[in-house]
Structure 1
């Protein structure tokens, strides 16, 4: 879990023209809400925001959002991006109670090398890039690491097999596959299938010819 301070300015003027001016000044318009508070329109410095979420927790970083001297422990709830440039055009912060359980998505990272899979002509396939977990804000894991070194061609790693850090629990069905093995096609298999298809075509041609001879007779 990572915490950081981010200063925001309140009282921004809404509307397209004012928003364009903010963005031209290197600021991002946004809003903070949650826990019974009235939503507050704010703006944050684009460079400071980038620095705030540059740690391992990324978008799950707990931010001490400081607005006019008031600190709102917050998480980034939503970001809207420009359709072409893809930079952040608007950002929503949600105030959180540090002792209250919330649900967040945590990235999954594979660790190790599945040599048995590689030697068997297989490919390790990550079925989900993120896992939803229920936890209090201070216990949000930066990531969930899956060790694939012992995987073989028949291995399936499911949600119930994951090593989830203490204080967090998965919300997904325990039986849902997270990592599986894909069987890759090989030149030998391709050649065998091609030969079988060729043989089948030849047999069909012989049967057709025989049927034609019987009709002529």
Structure 2
């Protein structure tokens, strides 16, 4: 994952009112913390930050130039979004050092197509790994190409890039391939009964008598 340079300025207003004013000014309220240092409240340019997250994902690494003359290398730790506007409400940034190992949850992307008449159940869409803060993978690809019903993929099956270590239990199931339900099974789950053709209820068929000469 490449580093993104971004500018920031110190924040002196706090609380909900201060955060709203920061956002109205086109900036995202953020806090820098880690390595035992006192948390530093900053404001990031919203447009540049959004573009970086779209490109690099939630684990984007930033080199932050602060207008007070300081610089920080930081990793996005937590992002709060407005569920309606889909804008950034607040960002937590973790201070890191080059060569330092950090643990993050990396998105798992499925590639390929399973066999016909199967269902793919993505049980876990992230994988917890440890790696150098400057060499974190943006995502991990898992191939499901041609997998038949009954197959499954665990965390231990995923091929990790060099220098990346698995943190989660290797037996953790990521993907399960099952058989697609038949039409009869779907009808049964929906409570639909199969009707057999029959005459009208209450009618009795009479034998046909031969006409008398």
Q: Same fold (TM over 0.5)?
A: yes
Give the corresponding residue for 2:181.
Answer: 185
Greater Cα offset, 6-15 or 141-150: 6-15
Q: 1:191 and 1:25, CA in 2 relative to 1: closer, same or farther beyond 3 A?
A: closer
Q: 1:190 and 1:65, CA in 2 relative to 1: closer, same or farther beyond 3 A?
A: closer
Structure possessing the higher radius of gyration over alpha carbons: 2
Contact residue 12 and residue 43 of structure 1 kept, 8 A? no
Give the corresponding residue for 1:62.
Answer: 61
User: Does 2:69 match 1:73?
Assistant: no
Aligned length: 190
Counterparts of 1:111 and 1:127, CA distance in 2: 15
Counting only pairs closer than 5 Å after superposition, residues 1-217 of structure 1 correspond to structure 2 as 1-55=1-55, 57-67=56-66, 68-82=68-82, 84-114=84-114, 116=115, 118=116, 121-187=117-183
Question: 1:47, CA displacement in angstroms?
Answer: 0.5
The TM-score normalised by the length of structure 1 is: 0.79
RMSD (Å) for aligned C-alpha atoms: 2.2
Contact residue 22 and residue 28 of structure 1 kept, 8 A? yes
Q: 1:186 and 1:13, CA in 2 relative to 1: closer, same or farther beyond 3 A?
A: same
The ranges of structure 1 where at least 4 consecutive aligned residues each deviate by more than 4 angstroms after the TM superposition are: 188-193
Structure with the largest fraction of helix: 1
Q: Which runs of 5+ in 1 are unaligned?
A: 199-217
Counterparts of 1:191 and 1:51, CA distance in 2: 47
Counterparts of 2:71 and 2:143, CA distance in 1: 39
Q: 1:191 and 1:134, CA in 2 relative to 1: closer, same or farther beyond 3 A?
A: closer
Question: 1:192, CA displacement in angstroms?
Answer: 9.8
Question: 1:19, CA displacement in angstroms?
Answer: 2.5
Contact residue 104 and residue 134 of structure 1 kept, 8 A? yes
- Alignment partner of 1:53: what SS? helix
Q: C-alpha deviations, 1:137-166, integer Å up to 9, x for none?
A: 122111100111131123111111111111
The TM-score normalised by the length of structure 2 is: 0.81
